[in-house]
């Protein structure tokens, strides 16, 4: 039966009584209240601009103050997922290569392969990028994809490493794709945003604003030829991004920074609960420094994920989906009492196997 565990899709969006899902990375906190205020007066049902509503692109400029961003540098997309796909297709041709650090977000390799692009892997140690390995492998690649804080490791890259990658890529004429969907969820330090004319930034309203199902994200590039290519592709694929969700995103961006900070503290408390709980069970894991995932080593991961689900109503994800076959991933996007109940069930499972 464990062969059913072919991809996370079997768990995404699933609802079941008594289920504790450490599965999908969907924040349980409510989206900003203001996003609903527009609904009673909302009347627009027409197609929108492929690039995205001007007002939203203008509002996003404040996220890129250090780069003197222009509204024309953005493309509003169906979540970060579409932004990543459009970026791959805008900068690569078939047989090009992109360097990704492992463990990686599970969608990167399938999406690259679907676009006939070859993933080249650089293994991290303790979740940290090894710059020597990047220096060797980047030559054969068109771009390097950075995800810090990382899904699934919860680790952030050192600022020194990020600056080295920024410079290396610039010197060699390589593109950096920076997937920053967890930029507001860092526990250890301020976020360091990779920047420059060779950087394409990916972001989303899914995590910071708990708007996963509304499907709003964007890409940002100083290189307007990349923006143009992305718009050209989107014109013939998904067309405009949902216009109502874009209006909601404009409201979401009005959220005071203090509210985002309050959320971050709640995430940190949850991080502490799950990290200590799994350590107390004797599991070997890294302390998350950002995002909301833990990635412990486990014996028989396939059997564990399957039996936790079938016999204990607990969803976890297989590490092999993220390029790390001896681990499982748990998202702690849950209230603390649910995290504690899930930990009790995992303890029960471990003690009885
Ligand atoms: C690293 C990373 N990038 C992109 C995404 C996709 O996000 P979105 O919901 O905005 O498509 C996720 C979702 O979990 C993610 O973890």
- 230-255 pLDDT tens trace: 999 999 999 999 999 999 999 999 99
Which domain-ending residue is among 225, 252, 279? 252
Same domain for 216 and 240, yes or no, is yes
pLDDT of 2 strictly over 80: no
Same domain for 219 and 158, yes or no, is yes
Least reliable range by pLDDT among 12-21, 72-81, 211-220, 314-323: 12-21
- CATH number assigned to the domain comprising residue 188: 3.40.640.10
Confidence at 3, pLDDT banded by 50, 70, 90: low
Q: Taking the model in full, what pTM does it have?
A: 0.96
Same domain for 241 and 271, yes or no, is no
pLDDT tens string 259-285:
999 999 999 999 999 999 999 999 999
Assign 126 to helix, strand or coil: coil
pLDDT tens string 194-220:
999 999 999 999 999 999 999 999 999
Same domain for 131 and 54, yes or no, is yes
The region that residue 42 occupies, defined by phi over 0 for left and psi between -120 and 50 for alpha, beta otherwise, is: beta
pLDDT of 9 strictly over 90: no
Expressed in angstroms and rounded, the spacing between residue 118 Cα and the centre of ligand 1 is 20
Q: Mean pLDDT, to the nearest integer, of 65-85?
A: 94
Mutate to test the pocket of ligand 1, among 77, 78, 79 (most ligand atoms within 8 A of CB): 79
Same domain for 150 and 238, yes or no, is yes
Structure tokens belonging to residue 353 = 């196997």
The Cα-based distances of 260 to 62, 197, 209, 327, 335 in angstroms read 15, 29, 8, 31, 17
Expressed in angstroms and rounded, the spacing between residue 158 Cα and the centre of ligand 1 is 21
Alpha-carbon span 124 to 93, nearest angstrom: 27
Which domain-ending residue is among 236, 252, 268? 252
Same domain for 159 and 292, yes or no, is no
pLDDT of residue 193: 95
Same domain for 136 and 236, yes or no, is yes
Is there an atom of ligand 1 within 6 Å of 178 CB? no
Peptide bond into 149 cis (omega under 30): yes
Is there an atom of ligand 1 within 6 Å of 204 CB? yes
Which domain-ending residue is among 224, 252, 280? 252
Alpha-carbon span 317 to 170, nearest angstrom: 36
Which atom of ligand 1 is nearest the CA belonging to 80? 10
Backbone angles phi, psi at 311, to 5 degrees: -105, -15
Range of the domain at 267: 2-30+257-351
Backbone angles phi, psi at 256, to 5 degrees: -60, 145
Q: Let me know if residue 300 belongs to a domain.
A: yes
Pairs from 277-286 (Cβ < 8 Å, separation ≥ 24)? 277/339, 277/340, 277/343, 278/330, 278/343, 278/346, 281/343, 281/346, 281/347, 281/350, 286/126, 286/127, 286/153, 286/154, 286/155
Alpha carbon 136 to its chain centroid, in Å, reads: 26
Expressed in angstroms and rounded, the spacing between residue 352 Cα and the centre of ligand 1 is 35
- CATH number assigned to the domain comprising residue 325: 3.90.1150.10
Alpha-carbon span 210 to 31, nearest angstrom: 5
**Taking a C-beta distance cutoff of 8 angstroms, is the pair 298, 328 a contact?**
yes
Q: Let me know if residue 168 belongs to a domain.
A: yes
Q: Let me know if residue 38 belongs to a domain.
A: no
Is there an atom of ligand 1 within 6 Å of 181 CB? yes
Same domain for 25 and 71, yes or no, is no
More confidently predicted of 55 and 25: 55
Is there an atom of ligand 1 within 6 Å of 201 CB? no
Least reliable range by pLDDT among 17-26, 108-117, 310-319, 342-351: 17-26
Same domain for 218 and 72, yes or no, is yes
Q: Let me know if residue 199 belongs to a domain.
A: yes
Q: Let me know if residue 37 belongs to a domain.
A: no
Is there an atom of ligand 1 within 6 Å of 245 CB? no
pLDDT of residue 1: 54
Least reliable range by pLDDT among 3-12, 120-129, 149-158: 3-12
Q: How many domains does the chain have?
A: 2
Same domain for 338 and 193, yes or no, is no
pLDDT of 51 strictly over 70: yes
Alpha-carbon span 148 to 187, nearest angstrom: 12
Which atom of ligand 1 is nearest the CA belonging to 291? 16
Q: Is 9 exposed, middle or buried (0-12, 13-18, 19+ CB in 10 A)?
A: exposed
Nearest to 176 by CA among 100, 109, 106: 100
Is there an atom of ligand 1 within 6 Å of 147 CB? yes
């Amino acid at each position: 039966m464990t062969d059913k565990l072919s991809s996370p899709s079997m768990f995404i969006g699933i609802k079941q009584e008594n289920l504790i899902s450490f599965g999908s990375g969907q924040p349980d906190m409510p989206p900003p209240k203001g996003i609903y205020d527009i609904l009673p007066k909302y009347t627009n049902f027409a197609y929108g601009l492929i690039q995205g509503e001007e007002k939203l692109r203008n509002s996003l400029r404040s996220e890129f103050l250090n780069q003197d961003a222009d509204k024309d540098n953005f493309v509003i997309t169906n979540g970060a997922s579409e932004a990543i796909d459009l970026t791959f297709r805008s900068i690569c041709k078939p047989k090009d290569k992109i360097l990704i650090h492992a463990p990686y977000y599970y969608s990167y390799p399938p999406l690259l392969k679907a676009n006939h692009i070859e993933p080249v892997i650089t293994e991290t140690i303790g979740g940290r990028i090894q710059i020597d390995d990047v220096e060797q492998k980047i030559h054969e690649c068109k771009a390097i994809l950075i995800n810090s804080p990382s899904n699934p490791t919860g680790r952030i890259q050192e600022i020194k490493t990020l600056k080295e990658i920024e410079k290396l890529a610039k010197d060699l004429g390589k593109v950096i794709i920076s997937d920053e969907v967890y930029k507001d969820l860092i526990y250890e330090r301020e976020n360091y945003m990779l920047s420059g004319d060779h950087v394409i930034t990916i972001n989303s309203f899914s995590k910071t604003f708990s708007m996963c199902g509304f499907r709003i994200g964007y890409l940002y590039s100083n290189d307007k030829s990349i923006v143009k290519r992305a718009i050209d592709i989107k014109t013939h694929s998904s067309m405009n991004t949902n216009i109502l969700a874009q209006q909601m995103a404009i409201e979401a961006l009005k959220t005071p920074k203090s509210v985002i900070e309050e959320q971050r503290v709640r995430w940190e408390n949850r991080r502490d609960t799950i990290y200590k709980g799994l350590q107390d069970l004797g599991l070997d894991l890294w302390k998350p420094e950002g995002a909301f995932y833990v990635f412990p080593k486990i014996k028989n991961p396939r059997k564990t994920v399957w039996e936790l689900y079938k016999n204990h109503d607990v969803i976890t994800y297989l590490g092999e989906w993220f390029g790390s076959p001896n681990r499982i991933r748990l998202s702690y996007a849950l209230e603390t009492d649910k995290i504690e109940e899930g930990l009790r069930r995992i303890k029960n499972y471990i003690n009885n196997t």
